[in-house]
Amino acid sequence: MNRKIAPSLLSADFGKLREDIEMINASEADWFHIDVMDGVFVPNITFGFPVINYIKKYAKKPLDVHLMIIDPDRYIEKFKDSGADILTVHYEACIHLHRTIHKIRESGMTAGAVLNPHSPVLLLEDILSDLDLVLLMSVNPGFAAQKFIANTYEKIRKLNQLRTDRNTKLLIEVDGGIDLANAQKLFEAGANVLVAGNSIFSSADPVKMISDLKNSGR
């Protein structure tokens, strides 16, 4: 499967957001990763619809919207209207995850479930065939630039095995603390999409960093 890189705009410079969007358009990046936090599910607040509408206006690649909000069902249609192409919701935030995932698919978006570092991949075993994507958090959600949690490799391997057993086309995405020190190993463990914020936006040459992450070990 092709490798994908999804730069997280949480680490962009919001004073020149348009420039950072154009940088990603011109790079080898595949998706725009957009972190929406509500200050309840996670101890931080980011941005909402006006900012996502603006990103959609200029982004030439799909918007991968990661919801870190409680009861996300309330806003599925609004995220669709704002231009989300991929919508991911946390297992830990959804009481009726199966219903939520189907609502996302029915609205025409790619549907993904997210697992916090403490949640085992087996929790998704019975809805695996309903999912287009699983996002494994490799940090506790809420902030950029945190330290990568090494147990993630094992979770990717387990999920990869489940995917092979079920013969599904599920994408495995990983988010948090990703840089050149772990990207190759993550792809080799079975990840298809890597999210990276700090490592890209703190780099002197973000376009090159995106390319290096995508091609690491090749």
- Give the footprint of ligand DX5 on this chain (CB under 6 A): 8, 10-11, 33, 35, 66, 139, 141-142, 144-146, 175-178, 195-199
- Position 20 contacts Zn ion (CB under 5 A): no
144 binds, among Zn ion, ligand DX5, none (CB under 5 to 8 A by kind): ligand DX5
- Residue closer to Zn ion, measured from CB, 38 or 175: 175
83 binds, among Zn ion, ligand DX5, none (CB under 5 to 8 A by kind): none
Other C-beta atoms within 10 Å of 82: how many?
21
> Which residues fall within 8 angstroms of residue 5, CB to CB, at 6 or more apart?
28, 29, 30, 31, 193, 194, 196, 210, 213, 214
DSSP state letter for 143: -
Query: Could you give the CA distance from residue 47 to residue 60 in angstroms, rounded to a whole number?
Result: 20
DSSP state letter for 8: B
172 binds, among Zn ion, ligand DX5, none (CB under 5 to 8 A by kind): none
Closest to 127 in 3D by CA, of 77, 92, 162, 85: 162
Binding mask 174-213 for Zn ion (x = CB under 5 A): -x--------------------------------------
Length of the chain: 218
Q: Which tokens in the block code for residue 141?
A: 């959600």
- Position 90 contacts Zn ion (CB under 5 A): no
Q: Considering only residues 21, 30, 52, 66, which one is a binding residue for Zn ion as defined by CB under 5 A?
A: 66
212 catalytic residue (yes or no):
no
**Least distance from C-beta 31 to ligand DX5, angstroms?**
12
175 catalytic residue (yes or no):
yes
Q: Which single residue is written with the structure tokens 């029915």?
A: 106
* Chain residues that interact with Zn ion, rule: CB under 5 A: 35, 66, 175
Indicate which residues carry an active-site annotation. 35, 175
